[in-house]
Structure 1
């Protein structure tokens, strides 16, 4: 596919010549003809499109006063002259342009991230080899290729649309990473610096080399490592390790085989079989006692493995720790005694399958990997603006229309082609009732709870359009009452608004009773599916965020507000009313209510159920600690969802080739997650930075306004958050294996934070405290302990866990190689130790890097890391032997 974008050969041009005279029109004529199907097909096959970043700090940003702005251009070049009109190019861009300019083209925003380029009145046609250019300014920064969506679609009225081949991404053969030939984003400082105060421009390869440097670490220490780190462990170094090459023999007491079957299956895949003459594994569940769910004790001494737990989940985790202890090269586990329990009851991962669908097989594989690292909640984001992904009996339109996208801008047969989805995309689909049952059953076997989420009232375009389709179909059939039963939009509403994702039609109308009938129907059907699978729906996440000024001109809402019995006096109160009413509906079904913090903040505490889970997604520099405190004082459970630590759709590193959004953090690697202190959010100001690398202040002291009212108070005495979860939003994740790339290995660091409380973390001060990079509550001794434990953790990942990923077929990220010239020799390393590194000089043969290189000035050196099994290379990095190479 990627080879087709190259310049046309003479033979290809000759082959095209006969087609250039069509319907009496010569393409090289001076008049413009209306494009026909054959011409559209040829242009789609041959146009060369480039999206070129010009600057992240232009002198001006026309049409915007935003803090950030980038200046870019799209170049469209035809290899032959084509005097045709009537066409449009549809393409996805995360943020719409604030202004554009072009001699012959026009750029317009349509809806969501969908934009289109079309000929202006001055358009004179495509000239062979001459680019048509449109410049534009965007109120954001562009720092990696992740935001540049593929699959620009050439379309015209009455013709079959085609994807422009040069805008198709492809999977590189060696690395299996996505390559975007149309993207032109360089690593030059002039481009990558997004703000005058941007500190990340200083993050050279040499600077990162110093940050990731490892001195005098004994690899022998990893033999007894368990990921995530247990609460307490005693190592018996004088006792011989157990050799599991002959297998294991299981003896159970107080539990069923099915309770631990999934953990045994993982051991089997790692080479530890169940045999009659294997090492004895005795597992005892003594029944519920006071303590933590999932707690266990593990002994690997005196020729046998002993696991004691108070519940089957603890027994399951004990076996997973055996798998973590296992060294694949020797098939041995060391002699240890482990006493372990989880830090948090809630240890989760949020998976967005709405924006870009993930196959059922991917979800099952993910559940197995989550359980291996003792994560126990899958927050399943099943519906959003761009897709509805679960079958609901009685509402077939939800999946018939809203589970796929195509070129139907009226949303009559499918949803609009958002997020760079192609005409026949493999990024769409849904889970049938049977699929969802299988997922629920598989999760139960892995001791994971599924928490479904169908975002409402914002982020609901897929539901809105499906119910409009239902309304029109039933109305046409004369079934008017049935048509209105689940309608989610007011046909008379002329409100003009834009959501945070730039939609103008994505919000449920909360003033219509049919909306609540729909919500009740959906939640009841989902709860029924959970009950059928033997996994009761204990908690449901309603979303409840980002409603963006809808309903202002809705006649239904004007009537609703005028009715004094509704206790709603202003349109701004409608979001809170909806959440309160839906929360009461959910609680009445015996289900705990959950939602994002911003929507929940609009509710009245006395109108909400007693049991509420608030998922706090404010960033650390944006005072996440204040949101947590405010909701803790409402008596709610808190799930930490701080984007700058937990969003795994952000880039790993400062690399324009890395994928990911960056609005909450420019880089989120395993180390940034490992250093997070979740029990003391404000204390993170001592070590964390904002989105452009600046220090910030977190003031957690009691604060009052001029009227003496509290504006902030520290956490209530003794309060602790319920848990933490990672998040994989999927706007820029188009393939299942690339979703694994974004998750692993850094999900292991998230699991570490969720399971293990490190002694080096700064304890929370319930009296309140102020923190910044100059305060020293994280003492030098604590930092030294942290750094040592980081080395223990990342060596265990590099020397043990990645080998298991290779064995189990996990497509994790192989880190980039960083380098620095020291004493005229090039030194190289990676953030994860133990990986093979290769280099080549002047594009010669790849050779092993086993010691620093002595090279001549001006030599072109490339570096790459390999997976432990050496079957897959990571991305190639260029080393500047002057020591100033940029990462």
Structure 2
């Protein structure tokens, strides 16, 4: 057989063979195997899988009286359903159970069933969280060992990914420090000088009286680096010569949050007209320190002379952290605030509830956290919710269960406020609200049992007589609040007032509450008696579809009464209308003058110009484009890369290349990761000058469906966050406005190369130890074969390529790649950071 050269990416965590750490004896020796057999089965666009249930124990599995539950993409049987039938319970919660032709499973025997689902794209699609429940003990779920494996050959795909990465990396040149920006994100202007600031004993911080908090912060940060906390005093007038010091002085700066930073031999001066500007000057000073300054080994640091003038491009520089789908503890939220503030992100949008969890304590509504914050096996959801995203049968699962106490949230608010980050709370409504609905259902049942009807119905979120049939994008059939109920607005007022009280107690700013508005499915409210009655009594509501506008108008009035404005997803500025005989969401001009702030994510096919339409209509728009800014999307199309993929693939370059005022120009791929023809955007609405004034900033969300640990969260957050920081703070780059495509590409590649050098040589090494260190993603090597020689390169200079020739995974002491290698059977490449931590291996093979 003729040999040919192929490349294959191998997931270092054994993506194709995953076994739960559960004693087999707990389930009588049962185990589950799920094998992915064939994508595009029978050319119908479905994935064929084989589910195998094996009895490795000594006891037979009975013919009936049991059900296995798990989470994943909803499958259906391929053919016979009489042996084992697979069905959806709700959402991503699935089950399989014995059929009439199943006669039990003897020891050492196995049974198989063929299933069809959507095509497999990456490990995100793997089913998880399997457990069995016996009818004799219906409240007890027993975890099952799971083995997942794939018979699908991804060799060509992985080869193409490695070669594409290699080609992209070619534009990155290894630059000397003098050609890199001294601080990150890039300042408006800077000038290096020959001075050198060497801190001496007795260094003091002298601050204007308005900057006392920032001075105390700087003293604490300096102590983290050197072990010595400088004394803090009040500055008298402008900075003057004298004993060595750091001066924080008040000075008229034309731009909000702007600052000037001057480093000379005897002093450092940070000037600003507001406290935020001084704080950002301090963050730039920190970034001027050597990257390893936070490793605890420095007693002194020196800083090269520099003059910087800087201010942000956008006032709204936001990161959205989803702690609802899967929970992150308070410590991880605080750690996130640390890295956001370092890179001058000033908004933390906290997604606090969704279908799968309610994550904040609300005094007076204990059911929200007693029921809505927990996931585990349940038959009625009276004490907790169904498992989701593989959280399993136990409510002790740390990703499925958890919430922020009121004290936790106060601590987060105070911590963020000290770092000039505004926390925007989001309560997702009216859709994506299943956790809240189920919690209030349990409250209703509790008070009705006690004969307290008024209390039972006070905060009810659904019409108990509603017979509407719908299915959300995520598969839920009961996740939408009913806006016809007065109790719904009592609930909104309650959670708003308790939230406002927390911000007031914490001394934290609060201008808005985000009430979601995302992805309400077709069919809702159509058979609700409460909605029918409201439509009959209020002629101003134009049918069921107009309940959307009715709901947000009432929420908007409620917020205005409390001195707040409404934030929401793009749907808050849209309405359903007949377009060419079909219902479609279009801009709703009725709310355009209400100061609604809309996070616009949908720039997928057919909605490419939606953000510009809303901005041109007068809505305040936060650009949240899925194709460039969704951090939960996988870094690449590799089957071994964790992350979503429905909106394309997002690496740090997608965020870095984003052009806010003309994003048609930067979008080179569609949501499938396929190249786009430039003519694709012909006829799309362009941003007007008035619309440009309505673009208030950028936001990058990190949805948490696939995030079940802090490590996975940080992997998807970093280094993508660097692209958000650069584009939301730094001035419009020259390549964004160049008219000639060839010039644009040349300028862009030069800019990207400089950015990649800063990230690889400065910021990633800094994050090895900063705030305790971050588990950022180390990229895979680019690899290509030319004339029988294997070439490899790295996305970020500063990372080291190591390799092995015997098929083993490269380790921190493996050979360093320094040039082309002859093609051989067992070459493997892996990138390592300065701390010796490696990324995923790229394996080269002969076959």
Q: Distance in 1 between the 2:243 and 2:792 partners?
A: 43
**After the TM superposition, which of the residue ranges 353-362 and 91-100 deviates more from structure 2?**
91-100
Residues 41 and 162, structure 1, Cα contact 8 Å, conserved in 2 = no
CA contact (8 A) 2:55 2:61 kept: no
The 5 Å alignment of 1:262-273 reads 262-271=217-226, 273=228
Q: Retained in 2: the 8 A contact 1:530–1:537? A: yes
Match of 2:4 in 1: none
Equivalent residue for 2:284?
321
Greater shift, 546-555 or 637-646, is seen at 546-555
Cα distance 1:622–1:429, how it changes in 2: closer, same or farther (>3 A)?
A: same
Are the counterparts in 2 of residues 146 and 661 from structure 1 also a CA contact under 8 Å? Answer: yes
Q: Are residue 426 (structure 1) and residue 403 (structure 2) matched? A: no
Question: Aligned residues, how many?
Answer: 791
Deviations 1:616-647 (A, max 9, x none): 011254433x2122212332211011111111
Question: Contact 2:198 / 2:265 at 8 angstroms: preserved in 1?
Answer: no
Q: Which moved more, 1:654-663 or 1:844-853?
A: 844-853
Q: Which residue of 2 aligns with 1:396?
A: 366
For residue 484 of structure 1, the aligned residue among 442, 457, 470 is 457
- 1:285 aligned residue: 250
Q: Which residue of 2 aligns with 1:407?
A: 377
Query: CA separation of 1:207/1:700 partners in 2, compared to 1, >3 Å: closer, same or farther?
Result: closer
Q: Give the secondary structure class of the aligned counterpart of 1:693.
A: coil
* Structure-2 change in CA distance of 1:329 and 1:734 (3 Å): closer
Shifted more, 269-278 versus 844-853: the winner is 269-278
The answer as to 2:91 corresponding to 1:112 is: yes
Of 829, 852, 861, the residue aligned with 2:827 is 861
Contact kept, 8 Å, 2:807 with 2:843, in 1: the verdict is: no
One of 688, 692, 696 as aligned partner of 1:715: 688
Cα distance in 2, alignment partners of residues 569 and 789 from structure 1:
52
Q: CA deviation at 1:185?
A: 7.1
Q: Does the CA-based 8 Å contact 1:855-1:881 persist in structure 2?
A: no
Alpha-carbon shift at residue 595 of structure 1 (Å): 0.8
Aligned-residue RMSD, C-alpha: 2.9
User: C-alpha displacement at 1:583, in angstroms?
Assistant: 1.5
Match of 2:801 among 834, 837, 840: 837
Task: Indicate the residue corresponding to 1:784 in structure 2.
Answer: 746
5 Å matches for 1:800-819? Answer: 800-808=762-770, 809-819=773-783
Cα separation, partners in 2 of 1:329 and 1:441, compared to 1, 3 Å: closer
Secondary structure of 1:362's aligned partner:
helix
Task: Report deviation, 1:383.
Answer: 0.6
The 5 A counterparts of 1:110-259 are 110-138=89-117, 140-159=118-137, 161-167=140-146, 181-184=147-150, 188=154, 203-214=160-171, 216-221=173-178, 224-236=181-193, 239-243=194-198, 249-259=204-214
**How far apart in 1 are the matches of 2:478 and 2:388?**
14
* Distance in 1 between residues matched to 2:152 and 2:842, nearest whole Å: 13
Could you tell me which runs of 5 or more consecutive residues in structure 1 were left unpaired when the two chains were aligned.
Answer: 9-38, 62-67, 168-180, 193-200, 704-711, 764-775, 883-887
User: 1:632 and 1:223, CA in 2 relative to 1: closer, same or farther beyond 3 A?
Assistant: closer
1:633 counterpart SS class: helix
The CA deviation string for residues 560-602 of structure 1, in whole angstroms up to 9 with x for no partner, is: 1111x35223112112211121112112211111111124312
Q: Aligned-pair distance for 1:146?
A: 1.9
In 1, are the aligned partners of 2:784 and 2:791 still within 8 Å (CA)?
A: yes
Kindly indicate whether the alpha-carbon contact (under 8 Å) linking 1:247 and 1:272 is maintained by their aligned counterparts in 2.
no
Instruction: From the superposition, tell whether residues 856 and 691 of structure 1 become closer, same or farther in structure 2 (CA, over 3 Å).
Output: closer
Distance 1:576 1:264 in 2: 51
Q: 1:802 to 1:438 in 2, by over 3 A?
A: same
Structure 1 residues 843, 292: CA separation in 2 closer, same or farther (over 3 Å shift)?
A: same
Name the residue aligned to 1:694: 675
- The aligned counterpart of 1:294 is 257
Q: Distance in 2 between matches of 1:760 and 1:421?
A: 47
270-279 or 872-881: which moved more? 270-279
- Who is 2:725 aligned against? 751
- 1:562 and 1:569 in contact (8 A); partners too: no
Q: Is the 8 A contact 1:254 1:286 kept in 2?
A: no
Cα deviation, residue 282, structure 1: 1.3
CA distance in 2, matches of 1:639, 1:297: 28
TM-score (norm 1): 0.84
Please say if residues 579 and 600 of structure 1, whose CA atoms lie closer than 8 Å, have aligned partners that are also in contact: no
Superposition pairs of residues 604-643 of structure 1, within 5 angstroms: 604-606=588-590, 610-619=594-603, 621-624=605-608, 626-643=609-626
Matched with 1:344 is 314
Task: State the alpha-carbon separation in 2 of the partners of residues 802 and 351 from structure 1.
Answer: 21
Q: Paired residue for 2:236? A: none
Does 2:650 correspond to 1:668? yes
Question: 1:862, CA displacement in angstroms?
Answer: 1.8
Q: Cα offset for 1:78?
A: 2.4
CA distance in 2, matches of 1:632, 1:325: 38
Check whether the contact 2:603–2:610 (CA below 8 A) recurs between aligned residues: no
1:22 corresponds to: none
CA distance in 2, matches of 1:104, 1:324: 63
Question: Does the aligned pair in 2 maintain the 1:650–1:661 contact within 8 Å?
Answer: yes
Q: Which position in structure 1 is the counterpart of 2:550?
A: 577
Higher relative contact order structure (alpha carbons within 8 Å, sequence separation ≥ 6): 2
Equivalent-residue separation in structure 2 for 1:271 and 1:100 (angstroms): 69
* Cα pair distance change 1:681/1:400, threshold 3 Å: same
Query: Which residue of structure 2 lines up, in the alignment, with residue 730 of structure 1?
Result: 704
Does the alignment pair 1:368 with 2:334? Answer: no
What SS does structure 2 have at the residue aligned with 1:337? strand
Deviations 1:714-765 (A, max 9, x none): 43446241000111111110012221111011111111111112432434xx
SS at match of 2:447: helix
Kept in 2, the 8 Å contact 1:367–1:443? The answer is yes
The residue aligned with 1:30 is none
- Supply the distance in 1 between the matched residues of 2:155 and 2:500 (Cα, whole angstroms): 53
